Amino acid sequence: MEGTYNRVCSILLFVILLSGCLAPQNELAKNQPPNEQQLEQVQHAVETYQEETQVLPIKTKPNDTPIFQKYLIDFTALKENNALSEIPGTAYENGGVYQYTLITPEENPRVKLIDLQITEAIRSVNVQLDIYRDENIYPPFGEEIAEDVYSIDYQKLGFESPPSVESPYSDEKLPIIMDVEGNLHVDYRIELKKALNDYDHDYTEGDDIRYILPENTPFVPAYSLPYTIKDGDPIFADR
């Protein structure tokens, strides 16, 4: 009886180990959070590439692309130039959940991340929004949050609750909102308020305060509207 028990345990252990070994490596990598070493490696590769070519390794995007999604890193260019030997496992191009991008490319190019869970959440809401707009003249505007900025009448889209995304900065849920043209954005005011309180800054009214987030964390506020500061609080800026 004891021998049978031991054989069963051995078989179960083997199955568990085998399932782990058979899991694709990119599946394991893409579930890992970003780390400073990966960012530093890509940062070094970008600097090396720029020194040798006098240009940045970025993908061509239309001029009207939102600023934090505009300067995506071209890993193919980095590898072809031997500036980078391997694409990070967390990168979208290698099956991961982040896009690597640059902020302030003209002055001081720095490597940051776009959390693709946000992209997927926006895409999912857009699918329902497109269906709704095929049959209706106006987008499903909810409450007006600021001038030309609205919450979403989520019930008209068939959702049980207001759509939101998981914040890359904390455990917060960030609302998905809509501009007057029906374009979707993420409302980062919760995280901006925390950042203004937690980090040193010299922002004044009229400044674009969104940069306080990537200046102090690995992530850019993708799909964000412009924000400024008033009386110490983040507010939507004029566009």
- pLDDT tens figures, 112-169: 999 999 999 999 999 999 999 999 999 999 999 999 999 999 999 999 999 999 999 9
Asked if 176 contacts 118 with a C-beta cutoff of 8 angstroms, the reply is no
* Radius of gyration for the chain, computed over Cα atoms and rounded to the nearest angstrom: 22
176 DSSP β-pair partners = 186
Place of tokens 């990598």: 29
What's the pLDDT score for residue 32? 58
**Whether residue 65 has pLDDT greater than 70:** yes
Average pLDDT of span 89-104: 95
- Residue 32 or residue 48, greater confidence: 48
What's the pLDDT score for residue 33? 64
- Residue 89 or residue 28, greater confidence: 89
Element of type H or E holding 142: strand 141-146
CA–CA gap between residue 77 and residue 59 (Å, rounded): 9
What's the pLDDT score for residue 34? 67
Place of tokens 């240009």: 55
Place of tokens 């001038």: 147
* Secondary structure class of 178 (helix, strand, coil): strand
What's the pLDDT score for residue 36? 85
CA–CA gap between residue 84 and residue 158 (Å, rounded): 46
**Whether residue 17 has pLDDT greater than 80:** no
Percent of the chain with pLDDT over 70: 86
